[in-house]
Structure 1
Amino acid sequence: MTFNPSKRQFLKTSLGTGAAAAMLASFPPSIRRALAIEANNATGTIQDVKHVVMVMLENRSFDNYFGTFRGVRGYGDRFAIPLPNGKTAFYQTDANGNTLTPYHLDETQGNAQRAGGTPHTWPDAQAAWDHGRMDRWPVAKKALSMGYYDNAEIPFQRALADAFTLCDAYHCAMHTGTIPNRLFYWSGSNGPTGDNVAVMVNEFNAGADVGPSTEGWTWKTYADRLQAAGVSWKVYQNVPDNYGCNQMMSFRHWRAEMEKMPVGRKLSNTAGTGVNPPYNPDIDDQYSALAKGFCNTMPDGGFLQSLRDDVLNGRLPEVSWIIPPAEFSEHPGPSSPAKGGWYVQSILDALTASPEVWSKTVLLINFDENDGFFDHSPPPTAPSRNPDGTLAGKSTLSDAQMAYEYFNFPPATAKQPPQDGKPFGPGPRVPMWVVSPWSRGGWVNSEVFDHTSVLRFLEARFGVMEPQISAYRRAVCGDLTSAFNFATPNTETLPVLAGRTTRADATSLTAWQQTRPAILVPATPALPAQATGSRPSRKLPYALHTSARVDAAARTVRLLFANGSAHQAGAVFHVYDKLHLDRIPRRYVVEAGKALDDAWDVNADGGKYDLWVLGPNGYHRTFAGDINEAATTSAEIQVCYNPCKKPTIQVKLHNDSDADVTFTVKALAYRDDGPWTQRVKRGKVELLEWPVADSGNWYDFVVTCAASPAFARRFAGRMETGEDTVSDPAMGVI
């Protein structure tokens, strides 16, 4: 049987059109200017990039900023993980047993811009994540953790995503706070691969409290490697007002270089912008090659004049890091979303001051961690251990390679917490914008990334490797190159944008919000609506498979996980046993070109099973049934991909029974026809073709068997064909 729906049968949703290009005038000037500058396309490769600029902001989760945003994996996710309370991860329970859902931090109703922060260190982050059960956010992080912003509160942040590329599967590196996450960002590790130690909580801030060279971290930074390789680089920061966020200044060998500076060039920890001398390369570089990384390179208080000057005078390095002042870091407390948005707008203004420079520049904007703000997507963390010490899952990586992902290393100092054997991360999702002439058009990229992905992009462009990035991170997290169109960047359709502000407006709004009352948690919880509609979505490197084998004699159900990626993209499969959601979910790490399997004993449940599988970009499988029925009706389903000109999902209906059986296939999204039935003779296999071209290659259907009432197999996700397509059209619809 062949399914051949007409285009009318596809449940269409609103997509962007060419009319958006005609509305370019509605963009704020900073982004309108950036969008209007065509990319350097001399080679059609990553080598056209001559400058990479990075800015890491502070403490926001992806759902906190983009849960209601169109075309990304937000609050409309139909595959939010199941919780023991019978609901999904969107329905959290506080310490008093009350149900909390994400609620709007509405600036018209209270102090949204100044709502404050939540706990965000190793113990409470582990408690909220709860080994992947994701069910303790209000308990561990306070009720405020469930707050989110909408367009009115973060217009520039949303506008930037509508103009360029937003990554909706970008994770912080660890389940913890600022400094360990920034160590991954600056060095690829929190210590295990660097010096066989582990940094778990904040220590050795690197701003106004720089200490002696007898204290600090003891491995290399990526800037050290760039310096040795002859790649130009610089850190743009005000000292002391860098909010302690230049973690390279907390390394002992960096502090030793700072101590070498002569009187008059040494840094003072005294607050104020006029204390430390401006960085002068003709003087300071004579004393230390690292001076451009620790000196006062933005003596105007951090307001980017030196960055603009370098852009206009052809001095922008190949690699640049920008450290915002505390007031504009976006951190709850000293900063606000409005002030952070203005600062990013100013960075873009500086970089586009020279169209020639911007045509060759990539700007990467992310957040160090999520503070304690809720994000519903389970992170691709290494498998946890069960209470009995056994591993909840498996990996195709070796035990030696996986060892770097667990807190079994000595604490780096006496102030760090004791070893607990828990996995470091990656942690929750955080926003990541890829802003460049090669990433225009309001795209979403759903490949799994973390902070090491930024270093891997630098590796890909400049050829300077960071050996401290672990094998696990290299297997599971991409290198950001899938977010770009280097081949034909100047053919992208430009989208619509709004949201420009001024520093005065941002300051005024923040001050007014400080006087407003706290926003109350709604008494009646309700799941917020996500804006419907797709957005253009970059092709992904995944080709994932999960199938089941039911052994009635052994009373087991075995799942087989395979990764057919031809692009070296590994993946983490999360498996939740819906009959035992109190248990730690299993995670399976499968490298490209490899496979593994695992079994569930179903005796304790009288033969029943219900296994719920989740992978990247909405990849989902459900395997439910009763093994007692399998003794007489041996049915199974296998799904294959046919990425031809008219792509289809091939559905193989296996009947190993002694009698004919009838299968029913029902669409759960993307089409409104069906269901369909197919009779399969005993001992035979029938092949069905499920077209996906009209739904942007997305599919979601369930297969049942008349002879086995408990039998159900659900298959959902997006088939990759090597071509760009759209984000999930059913997001927020069903």
Structure 2
Amino acid sequence: MIGNDNVERQGPGALEFSMADIKHVVVLMLENRSFDALLGRLYANRADFDGLKGDESNEWDGRRFNVWTSEAMTPEAACLPNPDPNELFADMTEQIFGAGSQPPSPPTMAGFVSNYMRTATNDPRGVMHGFTPDQVPVISQLARSFGVCDRWHASAPNQTWPNRFFVHTGTAAGYVNNSPVRFPYLMPTIFNRLTQRQRSWRVYFHDVPLTATLSNILSELPERLYPFEDAFMSDAMAGRLPDYSFIEPRYFPSIVFNRMPNDQHPPHNVAYGERLIARCYDALRNSPGWEHTLFVVIYDEHGGVYDHVPPPEAVSPDDACPDGFRFDRYGVRVPAVLISPWIPAGSIVRPPAGSQYPFDHASILSTLRKLFDLGDPLTRRDAAAPDLLAALSLTSPSNSGPASLAFPTAAPSADEIASAHRAPPNDLQQAILQLASALPTGSAALATHLDLLDSAKEQLAVTQCATVGDVLLQVEKGFSRFLRTPRL
């Protein structure tokens, strides 16, 4: 059972596990992949695993399109689906309920192809594509070596910002899409709770910290932001990690640093995200704090990519409803892997028997509150969310896991990076552009939320950039003004 202080382990020789044994929670949140796409083929013959059978399909224009994988993991296959699927609230409604249907009709998961084909040049098979374990060996090996959650849903059928809000605040304040024009966002955050209870936290980022959307931590954020390359790896290896670490991937290509995005947002190459996951794991696994660590790899939302499990109903986090949606149903399943020496290898992690709800991003909040005594729930959603503590079911930290992971090491070519710079920006990158333009300059501009709001309204008249490279130039300027020192 789970109590306020201990999780009791059952069986011969069982010990009482204190929640104090977990001193570091590390969360890496990647982008826009469904559970079926990355992990649906993880186990072929396990009755307790809800994966793909191979006959799942969507119909469009009188034709049937089954789930499928590429024969070889070519660079082109690693970037599927290409182009990027649709991911606005209206798009996800069609994907989940089917073309022409919406609640209260039952979710059929029959509208992925029809929605994708609203752009006539798309290949209808694109959103039905997925990967075999051999093609994404890093996340697959970690899922098998520790635990995989096949009942983890995005917090809502919405795109990136609303779902990332849920992992930090337990609500999206009623906003269904990426909405820079509504900045600043005033929801209380788990970071505020950590500060109030004198718990340490840091956000490790690559190029852009999307946590800067949260106005209630803007005054602290410049002191809490650390570059992944310079700080996370060294902090982990030296045993200096805080109580809570949140890791943000790279969202843009970089000519200066010769790097491609590693967020796995379609059509970004999943191999670069695999490398990021492996580097995080290797640093944690070989750190002095390994036996006291819970590492969670999750994705914010499915990004329009097919999954076969209908999302269930959810608890509305609050009464906010400016866009007409009460956030009373979950989004599509997303990949979720739990990694800790306290987790048995091969675990299929699901909410405890009798739990009314699946895991969602608010489960992170529920877990942090209980582990670190952070007080009452932030919202009704994280009050209802099952926590992750029951997954830590070993009587000692005896699952050492792989000593290291092989991961892709090839550097992207200059042509690949240049091509990425010339590509049109996706919706998330355009939203980041507007956010960067609205950020205040240094701590002096953080006096009041009203000042922030006025600044945002004045600066949000941003010209839409035609290429990723143009967006990146403007984003770098905005974040360099905000941070104490430029870190992009």
Task: Determine if the TM-score, normalized by the shorter chain, exceeds 0.5.
Answer: yes
Contact 1:42–1:48, Cα closer than 8 Å, also in 2 = no
In the alignment, structure 1 residue 189 sits paired with structure 2 residue 99? no
Contact 1:45–1:486, Cα closer than 8 Å, also in 2 = no
Alignment-derived partner of residue 406 in structure 2? 500
Q: For 1:444, what is the secondary structure of its paired residue?
A: strand
| Structure-1 separation of matches of 2:278 and 2:379 | 31
Shift of 1:60: 0.7
Cα distance per residue 1:324-380 (max 9 Å; x no partner): 2221112123x32111010111112222342x3111111111000011011111112
| Structure-2 separation of matches of 1:157 and 1:75 | 17
Q: Name the aligned partner's letter for residue 66 of structure 2.
A: T
Alignment-derived partner of residue 317 in structure 1? 242
Contact 1:459–1:465, Cα closer than 8 Å, also in 2 = yes
1:166 is aligned, of 128, 148, 153, to 148
Alignment-derived partner of residue 176 in structure 2? 200
| Structure-1 separation of matches of 2:112 and 2:197 | 44
Contact 1:128–1:137, Cα closer than 8 Å, also in 2 = yes
| Structure-1 separation of matches of 2:291 and 2:316 | 42
Q: For 1:59, what is the secondary structure of its paired residue?
A: coil
Gapped runs of 5+ residues in structure 1? 1-40, 78-87, 192-197, 205-210, 258-288, 383-401, 412-417, 516-734
Alignment-derived partner of residue 250 in structure 1? 213
- TM-score, length of structure 2 as denominator length: 0.69
Contact 1:114–1:336, Cα closer than 8 Å, also in 2 = yes
Q: For 2:410, what is the secondary structure of its paired residue?
A: helix
Identity of aligned residues (%): 25
Shift of 1:190: 0.9
1:292 is aligned, of 211, 223, 230, to 223
Q: Name the aligned partner's letter for residue 324 of structure 1.
A: P
Q: For 1:375, what is the secondary structure of its paired residue?
A: coil
In the alignment, structure 1 residue 330 sits paired with structure 2 residue 264? yes
Alignment-derived partner of residue 439 in structure 1? 343
Q: Name the aligned partner's letter for residue 190 of structure 2.
A: Y
Cα distance per residue 1:111-148 (max 9 Å; x no partner): 11122321111000011111413221211234322111
Q: For 1:359, what is the secondary structure of its paired residue?
A: helix
Within a 5 Å distance, the mapping from 1:530-569 to structure 2 comes to none
Contact 2:23–2:292, Cα closer than 8 Å, also in 1 = yes
Q: CA 1:201/1:99 → structure 2, altered by over 3 Å: closer, same or farther? A: same
| Structure-2 separation of matches of 1:458 and 1:360 | 14
Q: CA 1:461/1:486 → structure 2, altered by over 3 Å: closer, same or farther? A: farther
Q: Which of the pair is proportionally richer in strand?
A: 1
Q: CA 1:163/1:486 → structure 2, altered by over 3 Å: closer, same or farther? A: closer
In the alignment, structure 1 residue 147 sits paired with structure 2 residue 147? no
Within a 5 Å distance, the mapping from 1:582-597 to structure 2 comes to none
- TM-score, length of structure 1 as denominator length: 0.47
How many equivalent pairs are there? 370
Q: For 2:332, what is the secondary structure of its paired residue?
A: coil
In the alignment, structure 1 residue 339 sits paired with structure 2 residue 272? yes
Q: Which of the pair is proportionally richer in helix?
A: 2
Alignment-derived partner of residue 615 in structure 1? none
Alignment-derived partner of residue 552 in structure 1? none
RMSD: 3.0
Q: For 1:345, what is the secondary structure of its paired residue?
A: helix
Within a 5 Å distance, the mapping from 1:272-421 to structure 2 comes to 289-293=220-224, 295=225, 297-298=226-227, 302-303=228-229, 305-326=230-251, 327-333=261-267, 335-354=268-287, 356-382=288-314, 404=317, 409-411=320-322, 418-419=323-324, 421=325
Contact 1:165–1:434, Cα closer than 8 Å, also in 2 = yes
Alignment-derived partner of residue 128 in structure 1? 95
Alignment-derived partner of residue 424 in structure 2? none
Q: Name the aligned partner's letter for residue 95 of structure 2.
A: A
Alignment-derived partner of residue 180 in structure 1? 162
Q: For 1:429, what is the secondary structure of its paired residue?
A: coil
| Structure-1 separation of matches of 2:242 and 2:386 | 25
Q: CA 1:359/1:460 → structure 2, altered by over 3 Å: closer, same or farther? A: same
Cα distance per residue 1:174-229 (max 9 Å; x no partner): 101100000001111111xxxxxx1110123xxxxxx9xx9410121110111011
Contact 1:54–1:322, Cα closer than 8 Å, also in 2 = yes
Q: CA 1:108/1:254 → structure 2, altered by over 3 Å: closer, same or farther? A: closer
| Structure-2 separation of matches of 1:105 and 1:185 | 33
| Structure-2 separation of matches of 1:292 and 1:107 | 45
Shift of 1:245: 2.9
Q: For 1:216, what is the secondary structure of its paired residue?
A: coil
| Structure-1 separation of matches of 2:146 and 2:137 | 14
Alignment-derived partner of residue 681 in structure 1? none
| Structure-2 separation of matches of 1:348 and 1:315 | 16
Q: CA 1:126/1:231 → structure 2, altered by over 3 Å: closer, same or farther? A: same
Alignment-derived partner of residue 119 in structure 1? 86
Higher relative contact order (CA 8 A, sep 6+): 2
Q: For 1:328, what is the secondary structure of its paired residue?
A: coil
| Structure-2 separation of matches of 1:186 and 1:122 | 20
Within a 5 Å distance, the mapping from 1:441-460 to structure 2 comes to 441-447=345-351, 448-460=358-370
